Amino acid sequence: MGFEETPKKIAHIGIAVRDLEASIPFYTDLLGMTLEKMEEVESEQVKVAFIKIGESRIELLEPLSEKSAIHSFLEKKGEGIHHIALEVDNIDERLNDLQENGIRLINEQPKQGADNAQIAFLHPKSTNGVLFELCQHSNGKGI
Ligand code: ZN
């Protein structure tokens, strides 16, 4: 029942934005944070920017098309916090364990996400209305 080892950290907090370029200066110029990288994730139809804060990141997400889940999120709720990502080892075992313990999964198998990570989302109906992403970087660090 459950894992004894805790997730390693909050890998990032995902924030849905309409315009990535226009959103970044608040973090970099005004808050003094560092833009680490920008990337397009074809499979998710999003463009993302990772902004470093300590051990964690802010992940800004802009939809690339209407097929993107971020597009529907913006339509329904407007800009704002979209998900919280937890850095884990053993993502496969964790997904199995969570499922066995009655947590609904959006992705039963990990898929390729931004920053070469293996990612999977848990269903917010099972987690107090919060969309959680599990994410595992092969280098063990995450950017
Ligand atoms: Zn994410």
Q: What is the CATH number of the domain that holds 86?
A: 3.10.180.10
Instruction: Judge whether 60 lies within some domain.
Output: yes
Instruction: Judge whether 112 lies within some domain.
Output: yes
pLDDT of 55 higher than 90: yes
Centroid of ligand 1 to alpha carbon of 14 (angstroms)? 5
Neighbouring residues of the ion ligand 1, judged by CB less than 5 Å:
14, 59, 85, 133
**In the block, which residue shows the tokens 């300590």?**
54
Centroid of ligand 1 to alpha carbon of 83 (angstroms)? 7
Calculate mean pLDDT across residues 30-59.
95
- More confident: 142 or 113: 113
Query: What is residue 122's predicted lDDT score, i.e. its pLDDT?
Result: 98
Query: What is residue 139's predicted lDDT score, i.e. its pLDDT?
Result: 63
Centroid of ligand 1 to alpha carbon of 84 (angstroms)? 7
Q: How many domains does the chain have?
A: 1
Instruction: Judge whether 142 lies within some domain.
Output: no
Query: What is residue 54's predicted lDDT score, i.e. its pLDDT?
Result: 95
Centroid of ligand 1 to alpha carbon of 102 (angstroms)? 23
Average pLDDT along the chain: 93
- More confident: 58 or 5: 58
pLDDT of 2 higher than 80: no
Q: What is the pLDDT of residues 73-119, one digit of tens each?
A: 999 999 999 999 999 999 999 999 999 999 999 999 999 888 889 99
Instruction: Judge whether 143 lies within some domain.
Output: no
**In the block, which residue shows the tokens 């704002």?**
80
Q: What is the pLDDT of residues 129-138, one digit of tens each?
A: 999 999 999 8
What residue numbers bound the domain in which 85 lies? 9-137
Instruction: Judge whether 67 lies within some domain.
Output: yes
Centroid of ligand 1 to alpha carbon of 2 (angstroms)? 23
Instruction: Judge whether 4 lies within some domain.
Output: no
Query: What is residue 143's predicted lDDT score, i.e. its pLDDT?
Result: 52
Distance CA 71, CA 91 (A): 27
DSSP letter string over 11-23? EEEEEE-S-HHHH
Q: 25: how many CB neighbours lie within 10 A of its CB?
A: 11
Query: What is residue 4's predicted lDDT score, i.e. its pLDDT?
Result: 79
Apex 9 CA angle, 137 and 19, nearest 5 = 75
Q: State the pTM of this model.
A: 0.92
**In the block, which residue shows the tokens 């990612």?**
119
Instruction: Judge whether 1 lies within some domain.
Output: no
